[in-house]
Amino acid sequence: MTKGNQGSPDLKSGKGSKDYSKYFDFSDAKVISEEEGKTTYRIKGRNVQINSQPDYKEGKRRGKEEIEVHYDFAIPEEMAGFGVNKLYHITTYGCQMNEHDTETMKGLLEQMGYRGTLDRNQADIILLNTCAIRENAEDKVFGELGHLKHLKIEKPGLLLGVCGCMSQEEGVVNRIMSKHGFVDMIFGTHNIHRLPHLIKEAVFSKELVVEVWSKEGDIIENLPKKREGMRAWVNIMYGCDKFCTYCIVPFTRGKERSRRPEDVIAEVRDLARQGFKEVTLLGQNVNAYGKDFTDIDYTFGDLMDDMRLIDIPRIRFMTSHPRDFDDKLIEVLGKGGNLTEHIHLPVQSGSTAVLKKMSRKYSREAYLELVRKIKATVPGAVLTTDIIVGFPGETAEQFEETLSLVREVGYDMAYTFIYSPREGTPAAAMEDNVPMEVKSERLQRLNDLIKENSRISNDRMLGEVVEVLVEGESKNNPEMLSGRSRANKLVHFEGPAELIGSFVQVRITDTKTWYIKGDALAEAVAVH
């Protein structure tokens, strides 16, 4: 701990990483007012209104209190037309969950009268929806704030907000308050529905408003969403209770809480009526869905069985945890239909010893047995994964175990990462003793193997006919269209723009490492 910061959390996250504790020195802060649970401070020449701040200890608690579901959401009357003739711009970092949160924020802003713009210079409100998974994502956001400072100087009326997972981190919020005083709002992942209130407070008080709930609160249904394209994301649950030692998500997203099945089913049915072709069910740990219900026995397998009965061509889900992938779910996925055969199944390491240090709570053998069951039951199952290399203490032999597991499973694709400590996680206190050059070399070897696997898998498809949901023109060639197969493979083929949004049967004629090419079968175009 740095001198003068006793009583502040020690957020040093291992050797060579950032020391956030230096942002905790608010010795010059003066309390201006305290009322209705809100405290206003004077910090570095600016008033800061703190409604609630992130607290790791609070974020880690998993209480037994009931999560309530609210169906009465409405934009406050006085804010309903606040955004008329004003523009918004949202930059999203991170995962599909963040993308989905952005859809909700767009929906809220549009109900207030705002309209979207791609040009930040034109915007009246700019929100950075942030990710806390890796340090480089954090660095990007602080870099972006540096650029936006100049825009704010030119346009003092611009509202600038930081939200998402980074906002749930104690050190980040304090760093913004201390070093980036031109920000107007900081809010977290649990109180997105409060955006209209926060805009009101920031505009009328002219203060930096900080409202980050550490406890996750209730489930708010009927929030507006602005969805675009033919694919939709649907949150079915929030939070994670797994506490893998490297992961900050259980702190930033809170405890596991599932939406009621009837609400999820109603939302997906409505998307089917609107003509969406593909729905991805989202959760930090999607297959733990329903485990928190006390009044009904209804699991993720039951939900997927009900999804099969909805007239929507494709249903996907992510991200699943191997520990919660039960036999019921495998059996339901085996029924096929609109449930796609692509399964994202993060393994993180092929070594049981490393998995134990990661607190993944399954062994290499248990994971391989799960893969065997999936492949035996789900016709044409295509598996993808996440893998971390260079976890503290990972030996050369343990890394070789990861390579051998990758060969044995034969993943089509993998998201691969070099381990970096996240402050506030248990792994950050472990000695990060694998040298960076060794981590980089391991990552390279792993990526080479994944590429090899992907190419082998794609080569097997030569001559096959696959159903492709056409998403748009190829970025490099407007005469080429691109889309995804049921197995989530990227497919390019020649065709007219009017096929965008439809399903086309494509015969595969050429394979690359990360995509495949083919010819559309003229007689097999289906606009579902």
Other beta carbons less than 10 A from residue 193's beta carbon: 19
User: What is the distance between the alpha carbons of residues 140 and 160, in angstroms, rounded to a whole number?
Assistant: 16
As a whole number of angstroms, the distance between CA 271 and CA 186 comes to 32
Strand partners, 465: 507
Only one residue has tokens 């346009």, namely 155
**Residues contacting 498, CB < 8 A, separation 6+:** none
Q: Using an 8 Å Cβ cutoff, are 481 and 500 in contact? A: yes
Relative to beta strand 185-187, strand 159-164 is parallel
Tokens for 444? 């390279």
How much is the CA Rg of the chain, to the nearest whole Å?
Answer: 24
Q: How far apart are CA 56 and CA 511, in angstroms?
A: 48
Within a 10 A sphere around the Cβ of 416, how many other Cβ atoms?
A: 19
Nearest to 180 by CA among 203, 147, 155: 147
- Nearest CA to 423 among 54, 177, 76? 54
- 163 labelled as ligand-binding? no
φ, ψ for residue 165, nearest 5 deg: -65, -35
Q: Are 229 and 221 in contact (CB under 8 A)?
A: no
Question: Which H/E stretch holds residue 466?
Answer: strand 465-473
Cα 515 to Cα 83, 329, 375, 491: the distances in Å are 42, 29, 23, 6
- Say if CB 469 and CB 278 are below 8 A apart: yes
Alpha-carbon gap, residue 104 to 191, rounded angstroms: 12
Cβ neighbors of 359 (< 8 A, separation 6 or more) are 242, 243, 244, 245, 426
Number of neighbouring beta carbons within 10 Å of residue 448:
11
- Output the six-digit token pair for 302: 């039951």
On whether 244 is known to bind a ligand per the annotation, the reply is: yes
Closest CA to 196 of 148, 145, 266, 125: 125
Q: Which contacts of 458-464 are long-range, i.e. CB under 8 A and separated by 24 or more positions?
A: 458/489, 458/511, 458/512, 458/513, 458/515, 458/516, 459/511, 461/489, 461/508, 461/511, 461/516, 462/508, 462/509, 462/510, 462/511, 463/507, 463/508, 464/507, 464/508
Neighbouring C-beta atoms of residue 295, cutoff 10 Å: 6
- Known binding site for [4Fe-4S] cluster: residues? 95, 131, 165, 240, 244, 247
Q: Which residues are annotated as a binding site?
A: 95, 131, 165, 240, 244, 247
